[in-house]
Structure 1
Amino acid sequence: MDRVTTPGGVRARARVLAHGDGRGGTVLPVLEGEGPLAVRRTRGSGAEARVMLVGAMSGPLGGDHFTVAAEAARGARLRVGSAAATLALPGQDKAGARYDVRLTVGDDAELHWLPEQLISAHGSDLHVTTRVDLAAEARFLLREEQVLGRSGEEPGRLTSRLTVRIAGRCVLDQELACGPGAPGGWDGPAGLAGHRAVGQLVVVRPEFAADPPAARAFAEGVAVMPLAGPAVLVTAVAPDALLLRRLLEEASDALG
């Protein structure tokens, strides 16, 4: 599908739907994207289907509004990544850009949401919302990584909100605002403390209900915190994207 351009910027959507095939595999009856949100199936592993988001143009720019929806229905095993980092840039439209992500996972289904970093370039203004709705017996892994500014530049304005619900119950609802115009203290000792890369993992497994991971400092700049459900949140800050990825991967391995 072609992109839709309006005076307020580009509007684009992508949608992925995965189902179990009844034989231990996963099928993708819906795999569609518009303009800058190209969607490609890649080689999977075992029962898992893999999908890649491929940026077909720059953005999001000021005034753009992108929406991505991914659903793993009963019996599906789905992994979604991206081919490159997302770069938020200023545009001719002075309005901020929006990037909305909607993730849904059914019972006896699993979704790994593993995009590359989001980079907030100087002069940009991006609001990201990620909403996750999980069934009681769903399995889920989310990795978010945000980099404030390219090498040697100050960041743009970035606001990111993440909400996770399990069986209709909210277990996580948090917002991070960084950059020019963000509430005071975002870069202070109680915030990012001068770091320019921040990320998190959300891991949901039914077995965590009976045996949740303990709250602890995993490494310098990394904290593990069980949530009010079969879920755990890992948060990390680092001076750069490379170290941030390594810290999150180590925490993910430690959680099994």
Structure 2
Amino acid sequence: MIPTRIAVIQGDPRARVDLAVGALAPRLISRDAARAHIALAAAGMILLGGDDVHVDVSVGAGCLLEIEDVGGTIAYRADGRRSSWTMEVHVAEGATLLWRGLPFVATDGADVERRTTLHLATGATAVIRETLVLGRHGESGGRLASSFVAGDADGPLLVEQLDLDGLAPEPGVLGAHRVLDSVIALGFEPETTRGDLVLEHSGAIARHLGAETHTSRLDRVWDEWVKRARQRTASHVDKPANEAAVGGN
């Protein structure tokens, strides 16, 4: 499949935003000189067995890029063919990425590999919401191998690998739960509470395990951590954003 591409660099009077439609269709909502707000939706039916979705994101120096999913993703029955979902993200010096993902659901019979890789330059920050769900309501769920790797110039910040199978639950992983909701902050120190994981370098992870997505406590965490991240780029986000034509530069 053709890669989906999102890139933003500072401009005057408006940032330059480059969008390329692949399996996903990015749409420009608003922008100003150093900020862009992008909505991301499926361009067709995904994920089917054998689908290979690739998303390439680049945030230019000093920019703030906000991405929001318009609809969640459902990985359907694979019929023996594995599908893949790969996100490659580069956040330049002093830039910030805010990406609020909606639930990623592996239905019965699905076999999907999900890979997220983040490269953060000096002074870069990111807050990402990731919600993994085994099965739709009443289902056990399929197979989902998920990796999340983030690093900066000094080395790794976070390296995780999670292998899930709704038909063969792993003790000590999800247990009887089917929803793993996460908010991941990198490049700064958010305000944490008991149970959050504080990383060795600047960053933290808040997690929720549950039977349904609506029981998660992480909406509040997302709002608070995003607010903290925005404060680091206040000189950009305090300016009123100009409405832009959908998909335009």
**Coarse TM-score class (shorter-chain normalised):** 0.7 to 0.9
| Structure 1 residues 203 and 46, CA gap change in structure 2 (3 angstroms) | farther
Mapped contact 1:140–1:203 kept (Cα < 8 A): yes
Structure-2 residue corresponding to 1:128: 114
Deviations 1:48-87 (A, max 9, x none): 3111121122211111111001111102110112110100
Q: Kindly report which structure 2 residues correspond to 1:181-192, keeping only aligned pairs within 5 A, or say none.
A: 186=170, 188=171, 190-192=172-174
Q: Kindly report which structure 2 residues correspond to 1:198-237, keeping only aligned pairs within 5 A, or say none.
A: 198-206=180-188, 208=189, 216-217=193-194, 223-237=195-209
Q: How many residues align?
A: 226
Q: Does 1:85 align with 2:75?
A: no
Mapped contact 1:73–1:105 kept (Cα < 8 A): yes
Which structure exhibits the higher relative contact order, with contacts defined as CA atoms closer than 8 Å and separated by 6 or more residues? Answer: 2
Q: Which structure: greater strand fraction?
A: 1
Instruction: Structure 1: give runs of 5+ residues left out of the alignment.
Output: 1-10, 218-222
Q: Aligned equivalents of 1:22 and 1:169: distance in 2?
A: 34
| Structure 1 residues 249 and 44, CA gap change in structure 2 (3 angstroms) | farther
Report which stretch shifted further, 224-233 or 39-48: 39-48
TM-score (norm 2): 0.83
| Structure 1 residues 254 and 15, CA gap change in structure 2 (3 angstroms) | closer
Q: Does 1:249 align with 2:219?
A: yes
Secondary structure class of the residue paired with 1:12:
coil
Q: Kindly report which structure 2 residues correspond to 1:2-81, keeping only aligned pairs within 5 A, or say none.
A: 11-21=1-11, 26-28=15-17, 30-34=18-22, 36-44=23-31, 47-81=34-68
Structure-2 residue corresponding to 1:107: 93
Structure-1 residue corresponding to 2:175: 193
| Structure 1 residues 39 and 203, CA gap change in structure 2 (3 angstroms) | same
Mapped contact 2:6–2:57 kept (Cα < 8 A): yes
TM-score (norm 1): 0.81
Mapped contact 2:55–2:88 kept (Cα < 8 A): yes
Residue 192 of structure 1 aligns with an amino acid whose one-letter code is L
| Structure 1 residues 191 and 149, CA gap change in structure 2 (3 angstroms) | same
Q: Aligned equivalents of 2:159 and 2:128: distance in 1?
A: 14
Structure-1 residue corresponding to 2:246: none
Instruction: Structure 2: give runs of 5+ residues left out of the alignment.
Output: 229-249
| Structure 1 residues 164 and 13, CA gap change in structure 2 (3 angstroms) | same
